[in-house]
Amino acid sequence: MNGTTRRLNFTDSAFRATTLFFAVAVLLVLGGVIAALIDGSLPALRQFGIGFVATEVWNPVTEQFGAIAPIYGTLITSAIAMLIGVPVSIGIAIFITELCPIWLKRPIGVAIELLAGIPSIIYGIWGLFVFAPIVQGTIQPLLIGTFENVPGLSMLFAGPPYGIGIFTAGLILAIMVLPFITAIARDVFEQVPPMLKEAAYGVGSTTWEVVWHVVIPYTRVGVIGGIMLGLGRALGETMAVTFVIGNAHRISASVLAPGTTISATIANEFTEAVGDLYTSALVALGLILFLITFAVLAVARLLLLRYERKAER
């Protein structure tokens, strides 16, 4: 074995060891985060048990804490964001890749990338001082008037138009996740082989039929991955939601009413938490948010594996 071969073998071994170290370090950091959350939340979990995730009361004065209101707010705001953000994002991606004039593609792409780079606190300030008054004066009265006589939906869109609330927070989150989902969908749509689309056009398919029967099925794994990335962003968003959700620890049947989320509760109260039980309750909220996010990512991974197996068949 000459010197060059030994040097190459040594370099390869060093590279393998370095990458292994970084991979293990990620697992150790993740394990450390989980251990810290579990350790910090034990006092609250011992005190309240399963009632912690089933109780609405949140009273630091009497040291009574329940997580159901923040959990509800987190799930509902994220659901609203996905219901609005996913169709709009995919629509924008389809327009950019299939319909947009060449001279307009770059400006729209740059605008989407700029949206992704705006700090969340800027979204929060804009949402509170600009967007919330618009919602209060136009969107919420329209929803209340439209659905006031519709069974079921009348309760969902009931109450005075506060401007702030769960619905407004969901709209802000939809705007925030839009650039992430759009960017990923655009990238995977551009990877569709032109031959497939040309063949579909050749047999008389319209643009809509090509998108629905060729582009979407071919790229569904990547699109689902982008949607789950956006959902993870929506679940964990803090500052923007804190500004516009109202920060009320209660559950209301109306999405127009103020509420709170796990991240907003932690951001608002952690610096003011006095006593071990209060602090432990906030850490327990963090543990719940971690578990929700982990469950979402796990489900996303299972879906992707399922689609990959179907594609292989």
Q: For Cα atoms 279, 280, 282, give the angle at the middle one, nearest 5 degrees.
A: 65
- The fraction of the chain above a pLDDT of 90, given in percent, is 42
Residue 15 lies in a domain: no
Residue 285's pLDDT band, with cuts at 50, 70 and 90, is: very high
- The domain total for the chain is 1
Q: Which domain holds residue 140?
A: 50-312
Span 112-166, pLDDT tens digits: 888 888 888 999 999 999 999 999 999 999 999 888 888 878 888 988 888 899 9
Closest alpha carbon to 85 in 261, 229, 292, 254: 229
Give one word for 302, left, alpha or beta, with left for phi > 0 and alpha for psi -120 to 50. Answer: alpha
pLDDT at 313: 62
- Evaluate whether residue 231 is within a structural domain: yes
Residue 32 lies in a domain: no
Amino acid in the structure at residue 45: L
Structural domain includes residue 280: yes
| Cα gap 234→82, rounded to integer Å | 8
Between vectors from CA 113 to CA 108 and to CA 114, what angle results, nearest 5°?
A: 95
86 within some domain: yes
Q: The domain that contains 301 carries what CATH number?
A: 1.10.3720.10
The pTM of this model reads 0.88
305 occurs within a structural domain: yes
Hey, what amino acid is at 170?
Answer: G
The answer to whether residue 255 is domain-embedded is: yes
Q: Is there a domain that residue 36 lies in?
A: no
